[in-house]
Amino acid sequence: MGLRTEHEIHGRRRSRNIGLGIVLLCFVALVFALTVVKVRQGDMMEAFDHQPRVSLIPAEAEDAAAAPEVAE
C-alpha cells in the first residue's frame, strides 16, 4: 500500500492546482463579461484587417467618393 500513501506534498500541490484553476476560470468569465459590457457601450468592435473595411470608413469619405459618380 506504500504507493497509495498520500504525502503531505500532494495536498499542497492540489491546493495550487485547484487555486490556479479557479483563477483561470474567473479570468475567462471576467473577459467575457467585459466583452459584453464593452460591446453594449458601443465601443469599436472591429479594426482594419489587411484592407480597409467598408463599415469603418468615415461617412464623409464615402460621400466624397460618391459625389463624382453623381456628377457623371
Interacting residues with another protein (CB under 8 A): 2-3, 7, 9, 12-13, 15-16, 18-20, 30, 33-34, 37, 41
CB of 51 to another protein, least distance (A): 25
CB of 23 to another protein, least distance (A): 9
Distance in angstroms (rounded) separating the CA atoms of residues 40 and 36: 6
Q: Position of cell 461617412?
A: 59
CB of 11 to another protein, least distance (A): 8
* 48 close to 56: Cβ distance less than 8 angstroms: yes
